[in-house]
Copies of this chain bind each other. A is one copy, B any other.
Amino acid sequence: MPPGGCLAVIGPGLIGGSAALAARAAGLFAHFVAYTPDRAEGRLALSRGIADRLADNAAAAVAGADFILLAVPPAAMGDTLAAIAPTVGSGALITDVGSVKVPIVEAARAALGERFPDFVPGHPLAGAERHGAVSARADLFRDHRVLLTPLAETDPARTARVAEFWTALGAAVEFLDPLRHDDVLALTSHLPHLLAFSLVDHLLAELGEQDAFRYAAGGFRDFTRIAASDADLWADIGCANRVALLAALSGYRERLGELAEALARADRAALAECFGRASAARRSVLSTRTAEGQS
């Protein structure tokens, strides 16, 4: 992608801010504009070089921009898309970083109308329990996957430009159907978050806060690290993807029921079989990833 043009980031937090920093480091754009309703975040975005200029609102931020990155929480995507629709330039593209895709695709279709082909749905598999511009860093996407979920109507040239963008930031781009995306992420991301939150909550209820953590070994700390994530964001994601998440949760609860039955009949072999398959797979992936430097 030759340098030039303007990147507009709506929501210059951990993901949006990191994308802007990385794009600046890669020399992808000549101008960087951002919009956030949070004034302190905006000042931080300016001082950290995430943006050269802050806009007063989302519509003003995207006017004149070539590459529009929507990095607001999934629940805010619909309003944001509606706000920018009137001022998106004719040659511009819009992409997003939302953790769910079908609801955002639907919101984009409704808000953008005949400009819907200019929208390339995306989801970088990066981020942590931290958030905000303060946590943004140019290497956040290096060696991480970015999933793009273009539709039949999506302009292939714009999809290619978005893929080029993330590749330049060090990410590995993959393409997926939006429905499949939401089903898969319900299992690999949304369900684990629900389990971690609810396990910590369950232990608080059963043992009280002091004992719950007092008698926890190291493994529990790792296991529940994602329970320190933004509760409101994950409640939104859970609701936005609730059909797929419910299916994932139901399937997992059935599996737990089988393990409970195995425990009830003291069936050590059944436990060892389940644990063994998981351990072998987890170890093989852990070592592979470490070799790739994806620790």
Contacts and interface: CB of A to CB of B under 8 A. Distances in A.
A252 interface: yes
A278 B212 contact: no
A55 interface: no
Given A222-B223, A227-B278, A231-B272, A191 B199 contact: yes
Given A197-B275, A207-B187, A227 B263 contact: no
B222 A272 contact: no
Interface string A143-172: 011010000000000000000000000000
Contact of A259 (B187, B249, B257): B249
A143 to B, nearest CB: 11
Nearest to A201: B278
Given A194-B259, A219-B189, A220-B189, A236 B278 contact: no
Interface in A113-157: 125-129, 144-145, 147
A236 B125 CA distance: 36
A40 interface: no
B202 A255 contact: yes
A125 to B, nearest CB: 4
B256 A260 contact: no
A87 interface: no
Interface size class of A (residues with CB under 8 A): 35 or more
A126 to B, nearest CB: 7
Interface stretch (A18-26, A30-38, A89-97, A281-289): A281-289
Contacts of A198: 252, 255-256, 259, 274, 278
Interface in A211-225: 211-225
B255 A201 contact: yes
A74 interface: no
A29 interface: no
Given A266-B242, A275-B234, A203 B220 contact: no
A228 B126 contact: no
Counting chain B CB atoms within 10 Å of each CB, the highest count among A200, A215, A277 belongs to: A215
Given A192-B220, A231-B278, A249-B260, 20 more contacts: A129-B219, A174-B214, A188-B203, A189-B219, A197-B278, A197-B279, A198-B255, A198-B274, A199-B252, A213-B285, A222-B222, A224-B282, A230-B279, A232-B276, A235-B275, A239-B266, A239-B271, A242-B264, A253-B253, A253-B260
22 contacts: A125-B216, A127-B218, A184-B211, A189-B220, A192-B199, A192-B219, A192-B224, A193-B219, A195-B223, A196-B219, A197-B279, A198-B274, A200-B281, A206-B251, A219-B225, A228-B279, A228-B286, A232-B272, A232-B276, A238-B263, A238-B271, A249-B263
